[in-house]
Structure 1
Amino acid sequence: MSGSATEFRLENSFRRRLYFFTGMIVFTLTAYIFQLFNLQVVQGSENSLKAERFVRRSESIPADRGQIFDRNFITPETSQPLVSNSASLDVILNTSLLKNDPKKVKEFIYKFCESLSIPLAYYEKDLQENRLIKKIRSREPFVLLEGISRDQQERILVLDNINRYVYLVSSPARIYHMGPALAHVSGYVGKPSTSDIQEKEIKSYQLVGKGGIESQFDTILRGQDGFRIQKRNTEGNIEEERVIEHSIPGNNLILTIDRDLQIAAYRALKGVRGTVIAIKPTTGEILAMASNPSYDPNLLSGKNKQERANHFARVQNNGGFLNLAIQSKFPPASTFKVLVALAAMESEHKINYDPKGTFSCPASFTLKSTFKGVPDQVFYNWDKKNHGELNLAQAIEKSNSVYFYQLGYKLGAEPILAYSRLFGLDKKTGIELPGEITGFIPSSEWKKRTYGNKWFDGDTVNLSIGQGFISVTPIEMALFFMAIINNGKIYKPYIVSEIRSPLDNSIIQKTQPSILRDIPLKKSTIEAIKEGLYLVGYSGTASGVLNIPSLPEVAGKTGTAQTRRRGASSSNHAWFIGYAPFNAPPEKQILVATFVEYGVGGAASAAPAAREIFKAAFPPGSFPKTDRSKVRTMEEEAPVEEEAF
């Protein structure tokens, strides 16, 4: 009986173990079958690609960067691009055939240079620093030559001692159809630096934006690379090639730039150092932005290493990489008188100022000294002439400095500085270009901290005509004048209007105008200032340049900023900021800001540059005519009346 009980217990224990192990086997087989189904069926195509990559050599197919078009874009096929792509051939050294033999490497390089008429110095650094040997040891491809010519391609193909050691690959090249005329907006592309590779999601073979739109919108323009699988024999020759994933081009950009105005802006700066900005004041769209000296993005993005290096050095030496529109600041000179007048009319500091009333404006203004033994300060008008009694409009028309010396002194520095900050003359505009700087608005605290003395009345008098410590960027000053046109509204400037798909031309993103600042201004203030700006172009300091039959009515302000430069033909910077047609609705107007370094005076060089933009924007017959008895009959007969500071 006991034996039977023992056998029964053993049998039950065996049965339980059998069931357990049977269950484990069934579970394991089920898991294996499920995983096999997952790998073969569910993830089969993906794993097949991975297997291909392991078994054979995979090679990336660089995507074309997106194209860039101007504001007149319709479709990629029917519109002329500002920036596009072209295919070029690069010569790649087949490192697997050189067997890590430095002598063999040098012999091949000598033959290669001799056969293709290339200076040996082209590879001197690579040989000296053993870059080629390192590439061979790592079995990485080495680019011998980029963007070869048809003649070079034919030579390579017929010379067996060259052809067997290299292979040709297609690589994208960038074409900048407007060259230097649009360089500071477009930027250029190049191979990524070590920091680019580390800081950005970018491969060493890809192109990366190096300034302008190319840099700011780099990831949007870059696209998605494809890859192909290659099977090579022991000689390194391709036996089989299969494209696994096709590359997808980057998105296209539609700019607010007008091609014709951009060309006019660049040509207007020929022979001078300066900048031109044209803006739609009711939206903030940049119609043109040119800066000179410039650079050729085709050379900097090109395949010729020596040309790139030489051009880069030249541009760096002459400051051509600097976009003066957003990366330079200078005293605003007489253009700032408009802000002083606005501050006087709008400020809570009551000074009983009536813009229709008059100030006596002799040849100079004397600031009485408050210190014993210190002489009075004398501030002269630009022409050192007595202009008599002037109201605000007449003072703006003639750019009379004595009027504004008195107005600024009476008002005091604080309201002027406060309104300068209110209008953003010390703040970035947020334009979609890299490297924007801010202007500088001083303060009594800053002066005490910097120079160890207080703010004097003489500093206020100097500030009243846009001289002294204050400095602004051209685009900041342009936006201030935008506020005058728009009754206090300032729109954020922008250059990219749309981002479009390269596949179906659909709009991915569209920029809507946005208000940067909205400053309540009295209607009487705007009217008083606009009257003076109109007189500048009609009968004032810029009339000799702008009051001509081929132009609409232009309102604006000239400015001539004194500098510390000595011993040169001119020591003054030139400004002009204005808009046209004066009698048109704001949405039909164009605002133009021009600045010329050492340009003699606003009417001598800055206003003529603006004139070329207005000519291009408003051909004869496109603007309403008004009866202007003082209109000039010929530009050559128009005298230039210019303030000296």
Structure 2
Amino acid sequence: MKREKDRARQFNRRAALLLGGKFVLMSGLAARMYYLQVIETDRYKMMADDNRINLRLLPPPRGFILDRNGDYLAINIQNYRIILVREQAENASSVPEVLARLGQLIDLEDHEYRRVLKEVERRRAFVPVTVRENLSWEEVSRIGVNTPELPGVTIDVGQTRHYPYGPTMAHVLGYVAAVSEKDNRDDPLLQLPGFKVGKRGVERYYDLALRGQGGTSKVEVNALGRVIRELERNEGQPGHELRLSLDMRLQDYIGNRVADEKAASVVVMDVHNGEVLGLVSTPSFNPNAFSEGLSTEEWKALQNNPYKPLSNKTIAGQYAPGSTFKMSVALAALDHGISPDHRVFCPGHMDLGNHRFHCWKRHGHGWMNMTDAIRESCDVWFYEVGMKVGIEKIAAMARKLGLGDKTGLDLHGERAGLIPDKAWKERAIGERWQGGETVIAAIGQGYVLTTPLQLAVMTARMVNGGKAVVPHLTKQKFEGRDLLDSNWVPEFEDLGIPKKHLDIVLRGMDEVVNHPRGTANSAAIKEDGTEMGGKTGTAQVRRISEAERKSGILKGEDISWRLRDHGLFVGFAPVDNPRFAISVVVEHGGGSKAAIPIAKDVMVEVQRLMGSAQSSEAEPRPHYLNKKEG
């Protein structure tokens, strides 16, 4: 009896302990549930919403590009593309089978076929894969009619970049293309499938401003990540509209004017505010092909073209300037104290040591002063004066005029050219400078290299009163994505070149065109108030032997294209009140005769289109000419 009572008490104690433990446990669970459901309710609600709601980035529309008159140069157009959803295709067929049927309706290359299969395997079954972009309306119609036989295939509408003027603007605008491994991927927009960025030209230089800022789409998804519905949408900020200084009418005219040349470049700019009005490099390429997708064959054809259509020759082509360099030598001579009346006799050559340097005019020019030497491009006068002045002062003046360094144009890919001096040769070649090299440099040959843009800037700085004008392609000022000034007018410092020196050189350039003995008299513009001044240039690309000089120098069709001289011309108009500067380079054109008529025609056209009146931003320059008869 006693044993049973002890057993009952022991059972009761254990039951009480067990009940107490359960009570403690249940209390703990209740407290934890209260904490999670009441205290932490906001936190877990947010976490649940994060799993249920996705925030997706939306690409903004790319900003349009316009010319100075509001003509659209780069726009966005509808892009019809084929989308394939693996899940829908596999329900009725298989992806390879659907692609095979699709290939019977449109051209589907092997690399596209392989790419689609690879992306389909890598992505979730319900995620769409782009098969092909930029479909024609005919292709869209064919696919639409055959939709029942193409499970999983749909037509989607997006936007693609389009360039209405094609090759004429290719080197200025560049193009857009898919993001590559080399691109800076800090911007989340660059992670979006199919997003395109500027690759060349102003599309690249102003890419951030044109790109805009992405929008967002808040969507509800299920446990698998499938979109159920869109809850909220913010379209973001479209890219800025970019307004260029170029005149498309002039650009189109220049493009047509040089279309027959194998390789040439033309630059036209306002000498006072630095606005580039025309910038043409030929041959060119179709930027729409890059935007829409370039085939392997098309890319190889562009790369293997001997005339280099992908190269923007206006900023990246480096040429010996030839006699167009002589004005900078003349200004260096005046700065050195040499009188403009300094006379040199030209017998057709000059001897230095045991070497003879020839003038382009075989039997010589006779007695020449500075104006005569510029007008008739006498090499011997510049040989003699170049030796007196020295390479250091010649180089200093050339650099002051914008040669030997990048001009600062708002395009990537500009090259610096080369203005040599003694220190450069010691550093680059490890040899001392020779007197004969100064002689050659004085006529723009030897080591001297310039770009067509630099030659236009040099001319502008000489004719605008000695202001350090810097070329630019836009009428707005940007910093990254931000538009700082919608109608930007830059200011330029004075170069410190005496006006009387500039007037002497400009008079020589006037006579080059408008004097009967000028080397470009055939380019004289007869209409009053639109006359052009300028300077011819011929740059040799091969050495002419003494034997060839005696027998007669081979020219034109007698030698292969690549051995012919480059033809150059720099000019300005109107001569009485300069506003426009031009440079023309015709590669292997056989001399300046190839560039002169192009320059004349373009100068006539730019004054017809824009008037010869001086731009309002600059003070008018007084009439500097004191013409003499003949």
Structure 2 Cα separation of the partners of residues 245 and 534 of structure 1 = 61
Matching residue of 1:81: 72
1:95 aligns with 2:86: yes
Structure 2 Cα separation of the partners of residues 622 and 118 of structure 1 = 51
Matching residue of 2:20: none
Tell me if structure 2 keeps the 8 A contact 1:95–1:135.
no
Q: CA RMSD in A?
A: 3.7
Which letter maps to 2:522? Answer: G
Per-residue CA deviation, residues 163-201 of structure 1 (Å, 9 max, x unaligned), is: 530233221111212111111111111111133264654
C-alpha spacing 1:381/1:138, structure 2 compared with 1 (3 Å)? farther
Tell me if structure 2 keeps the 8 A contact 1:599–1:605.
yes
Tell me if structure 2 keeps the 8 A contact 1:300–1:312.
no
Which letter maps to 1:248? Answer: Q
Match of 2:347 among 345, 357, 362: 362
1:265 aligns with 2:262: no
Tell me if structure 2 keeps the 8 A contact 1:546–1:607.
no
C-alpha spacing 1:112/1:620, structure 2 compared with 1 (3 Å)? closer
Matching residue of 1:14: none
TM-aligned CA deviation for residue 284 of structure 1: 0.6
Tell me if structure 2 keeps the 8 A contact 1:366–1:377.
yes
Matching residue of 2:604: 615
Deviation larger for 82-91 or 437-446: 437-446
Tell me if structure 2 keeps the 8 A contact 1:100–1:137.
no
Matching residue of 1:412: 390
Matching residue of 2:586: 596
Structure 2 Cα separation of the partners of residues 232 and 161 of structure 1 = 28
| Secondary structure at the counterpart of residue 538 of structure 2 | strand
Percent sequence identity is 29
C-alpha spacing 1:238/1:621, structure 2 compared with 1 (3 Å)? closer
Per-residue CA deviation, residues 183-225 of structure 1 (Å, 9 max, x unaligned), is: 1111111111133264654123211111001111111111233
TM-aligned CA deviation for residue 238 of structure 1: 8.4
Match of 2:514 among 511, 516, 538: 538
Residues 28-177 of structure 1 mapped to structure 2, 5 A cutoff: 51=49, 54-55=51-52, 60-73=57-70, 80-97=71-88, 104-114=94-104, 116-119=105-108, 121=110, 123-126=112-115, 131-136=118-123, 140-177=127-164
Tell me if structure 2 keeps the 8 A contact 1:487–1:520.
no
Which letter maps to 1:478? Answer: A
Structure 2 Cα separation of the partners of residues 238 and 155 of structure 1 = 29
Structure 2 Cα separation of the partners of residues 511 and 623 of structure 1 = 22
Structure 2 Cα separation of the partners of residues 93 and 476 of structure 1 = 52
User: What TM-score do the two structures reach when normalised by structure 1?
Assistant: 0.79
TM-aligned CA deviation for residue 317 of structure 1: 2.2
TM-aligned CA deviation for residue 615 of structure 1: 1.9
Which letter maps to 2:569? Answer: F
Matching residue of 1:11: none
Structure 1 Cα separation of the partners of residues 430 and 484 of structure 2 = 55
C-alpha spacing 1:630/1:178, structure 2 compared with 1 (3 Å)? farther
Structure 1 Cα separation of the partners of residues 440 and 526 of structure 2 = 34
TM-aligned CA deviation for residue 243 of structure 1: 5.7
Tell me if structure 2 keeps the 8 A contact 1:275–1:596.
yes
Which letter maps to 1:524? Answer: K
Structure 2 Cα separation of the partners of residues 440 and 251 of structure 1 = 37
Match of 1:491 among 469, 473, 478: 469
Tell me if structure 2 keeps the 8 A contact 1:300–1:311.
no
TM-aligned CA deviation for residue 597 of structure 1: 0.8
Which letter maps to 2:571? Answer: G
TM-aligned CA deviation for residue 454 of structure 1: 2.2
Tell me if structure 2 keeps the 8 A contact 1:491–1:513.
no
Match of 1:218 among 207, 211, 216: 207
Matching residue of 1:522: 498
Deviation larger for 198-207 or 105-114: 198-207
Deviation larger for 134-143 or 248-257: 134-143
Which letter maps to 2:64? Answer: Q
Tell me if structure 1 keeps the 8 A contact 2:85–2:125.
no
TM-aligned CA deviation for residue 358 of structure 1: 2.0
1:280 aligns with 2:270: yes
Structure 1 Cα separation of the partners of residues 296 and 55 of structure 2 = 32
Structure 1 Cα separation of the partners of residues 421 and 528 of structure 2 = 45
Structure 2 Cα separation of the partners of residues 322 and 198 of structure 1 = 27
TM-aligned CA deviation for residue 401 of structure 1: 0.7
Tell me if structure 1 keeps the 8 A contact 2:89–2:98.
no
Match of 2:332 among 319, 340, 343: 343
Matching residue of 1:373: none
1:463 aligns with 2:437: no
Matching residue of 1:377: 355
Residues 567-578 of structure 1 mapped to structure 2, 5 A cutoff: 567-569=559-561, 571-578=564-571
TM-aligned CA deviation for residue 424 of structure 1: 3.5
TM-aligned CA deviation for residue 452 of structure 1: 4.8
Matching residue of 1:503: none
Tell me if structure 1 keeps the 8 A contact 2:176–2:198.
yes
Tell me if structure 1 keeps the 8 A contact 2:52–2:223.
no
User: What TM-score do the two structures reach when normalised by structure 2?
Assistant: 0.80
Deviation larger for 275-284 or 202-211: 202-211
Residues 11-26 of structure 1 mapped to structure 2, 5 A cutoff: none
| Secondary structure at the counterpart of residue 142 of structure 2 | helix
Which letter maps to 1:590? Answer: F
Structure 2 Cα separation of the partners of residues 57 and 156 of structure 1 = 32
| Secondary structure at the counterpart of residue 156 of structure 1 | helix
TM-aligned CA deviation for residue 590 of structure 1: 0.7
Which letter maps to 2:235? Answer: H
Match of 2:372 among 379, 384, 394: 394
| Secondary structure at the counterpart of residue 460 of structure 2 | helix
Deviation larger for 564-573 or 383-392: 564-573
| Secondary structure at the counterpart of residue 72 of structure 2 | coil
Tell me if structure 1 keeps the 8 A contact 2:84–2:154.
yes
TM-aligned CA deviation for residue 404 of structure 1: 0.6
Per-residue CA deviation, residues 279-323 of structure 1 (Å, 9 max, x unaligned), is: 111111111111111111112112xx4x54433332222221211
Tell me if structure 2 keeps the 8 A contact 1:554–1:579.
yes
Structure 2 Cα separation of the partners of residues 442 and 143 of structure 1 = 54
Tell me if structure 2 keeps the 8 A contact 1:300–1:308.
no
Tell me if structure 1 keeps the 8 A contact 2:302–2:310.
yes
